[in-house]
Amino acid sequence: MAVSITPLPQLKLNTAGKDPIPKWVPPPETKEDLEWQDLRVLDLALLDGTPEQQKQVEQTCKDALTNEGFLLIINHGVDDETMQRVFDLANWICNGDAMTDEDKKEYEWDRENGDWMGYKPPRGWGEKGREDYDHIEAYNFYGACWEKNRLPPRIRPYADKILAYADHMHNHVGRRLLLLLSRILGMSDEALWEKIPGKNAVLPHSSYCRFQVYHPLREEDKATTENILPNHTDHGATTFLPSQPVSCLQILGKDQKWRWVPYRKGALVCNLGDVMEILSGGILKATRHRVCKPPADQQAYERVSVCSFNHADQELTLEPLKDAPLIKQVGLQPDSEVYGAFCKAIDRGEQIPKFGEWKTLRNKNAQEPISKLVVIDGVPHKEHIVGGVKVYRQV
């Protein structure tokens, strides 16, 4: 069972000859005793190993994505030194002097139209109103940033390095994960890679890399803020987050309990989005997660986070791959949340959406004020339905 794609390359980001940027200093780990979610560890190097090792990695992947819905990936081709450079860049871009105030205006995202490319100012994603301060500043790097030169001038000398990282996550790690998911579904190695991402660009369509920082909570927000980023599922196919030390990310277990994602230096935290849950008919889960207020001993630190969101071709029709052997064997899972919500929307007569419509709808409506009030864990939330999938904001 030879893997049909080239062995995983090792990414190197040589910034010699460029102006130095400040070094990101990782904050210390929390000493608090939190309820951690045990995550399975997927060793991606095993995919280049013996047939038994390949089978082992496939099984780990399947167990993780049908149970926790999150996993840790090691040996993904970005060593600690290279990842340090990525964090140096992310920290400098979101938290340093990489952008002037004019740049922030010139390159600001077009949120009203659901286009998130560019600089995201620190408002609108929290659980308060759309215009309220939300502690999160980010730069969203889409393929068009390079194709249309939509990069602030001071960042341009590093454009090739950022692209190399984004490329590695999408076209090497992302492709290999799709290969594993194809095998899990009983399909040929390249089936999902051929079907999902769209081709002919390093970051095709809306796949993107986000550098972001969560600023420490302001004094006046400490008492009233629980979640910095509300409870949601990602809307693409796969997401990769290099593990970082400030504990904020929580995932919702099958038992409806929230648990903290542990820090593991050098690993990638990986989860699936709506696309994979719908295509797999609910077998592979797009797990709900949220970014909470950090534990008390980490509340003074800036939390730098680097996210790779691997999306789908805008024309991809979102529906289960009914011919996939695993779906035939175990059947569709309408009790699964995202796929179930999707089924209900279709039953109500809504059209099967293309991914592009789904994404724009979800981007436009993300965290809009809404209608229905529900109680989760004893805490009142507003519920908003976006493309059939529920998004919650704490009231």
List residues near ligand AKG by CB under 6 A: 229, 234, 241, 249, 289, 291, 305, 307
Candidate ranges 34-42, 227-235, 262-270, 352-360; the one touching Fe ion (CB under 5 A) = 227-235
Say which residue the tokens 């940033």 belong to: 145
Q: Which is nearer to ligand AKG, 91 or 182 (CB)?
A: 91
Please answer whether residues 30 and 247 qualify as being in contact, where contact means their C-beta atoms are separated by less than 8 angstroms: yes
158 or 214: CB nearest ligand AKG: 214
Consecutive H or E run containing 389: strand 389-394
The distance of closest approach from Cβ of residue 291 to ligand AKG in the complex, given in angstroms and rounded to an integer, is 5
Least distance from ligand AKG to the Cβ atom of residue 192, Å: 21
Q: Which does 278 bind (CB under 5 to 8 A by kind): ligand AKG, Fe ion, none?
A: none
Adjacent-strand bridge partners of 71? 270
Give dist(CA 47, CA 325) in Å, integer: 21
CB of 253 to Fe ion, least distance (A): 16
The minimum distance between CB 290 and Fe ion, in angstroms, equals 8
Give the one entry of ligand AKG, Fe ion, none that residue 237 binds, where binding means its C-beta sits below a cut-off of 5 to 8 angstroms depending on kind.
none
| Alpha-carbon span 252 to 79, nearest angstrom | 30
Judged by CB, which is closer to ligand AKG: 234, or 277?
A: 234
Q: Is 96 helix (H, G, I), strand (E, B) or coil?
A: coil
Chain-centroid distance of CA 79 in Å reads 20
Instruction: Mention every residue, 6+ apart, whose C-beta is less than 8 A from residue 223.
Output: none
Report helix, strand or coil for 30. Answer: coil
Between 326 and 355, name the residue whose CB sits nearer to ligand AKG: 355
Among 137, 234, 277, 337, binds Fe ion (CB under 5 A): 234
Q: Residue 307 binds which entry of Fe ion, ligand AKG, none, with Cβ cut-offs from 5 to 8 Å by kind?
A: ligand AKG
Least distance in Å: CB of 229 to ligand AKG? 6
Give the pair of three-digit tokens for residue 251: 């995932």
Residue closer to ligand AKG, measured from CB, 171 or 212: 212
CA 34 distance to own-chain centroid: 23
Which residue is closest to Fe ion by CB?
234
Tell me, by CB under 5 A, how many residues bind Fe ion.
1
Nearer to Fe ion, 70 or 342 (CB): 70
Nearer to ligand AKG, 185 or 286 (CB): 286
Work out what residue 389 binds among ligand AKG, Fe ion, none; the CB cut-off runs from 5 to 8 Å by kind: none
Nearer to ligand AKG, 291 or 343 (CB): 291
Any residues with CB less than 8 A from the CB of 183 and at least 6 apart, and which?
Answer: 58, 189
Closest residue to ligand AKG in the complex (CB): 305
Binding to Fe ion by residue 58, rule CB under 5 A?
no
CB of 154 to Fe ion, least distance (A): 28
From CA 135, how far away is CA 95, in angstroms rounded? 12
Residues 367 and 383: their CA atoms lie apart, in Å, by: 9
Q: How far is the CB of 96 from ligand AKG (least distance, A)?
A: 19
Tokens for 236? 């693409």
**What is the per-residue burial (b if ≥16 Cβ within 10 Å, else e) of 214-250?**
bbbbeeebeeebebbbbbbbbbbbbbbbbbbbbbbbb
Q: Are 311 and 237 in contact (CB under 8 A)?
A: yes
Based on CB atoms, which residue is closest to Fe ion, 250 or 336? 250
- Give the shortest CB-305-to-ligand AKG separation in angstroms: 4
Residue among 275, 265, 201, 213 at smallest CA distance from 238: 275
Q: How far is CA 67 from CA 230, 246, 253, 304, 336, in A?
A: 22, 25, 8, 28, 12
What is the closest distance, in whole angstroms, from the C-beta atom of residue 46 to ligand AKG in the complex?
26
Query: By the criterion CB under 5 A, which residues form the site for Fe ion?
Result: 234
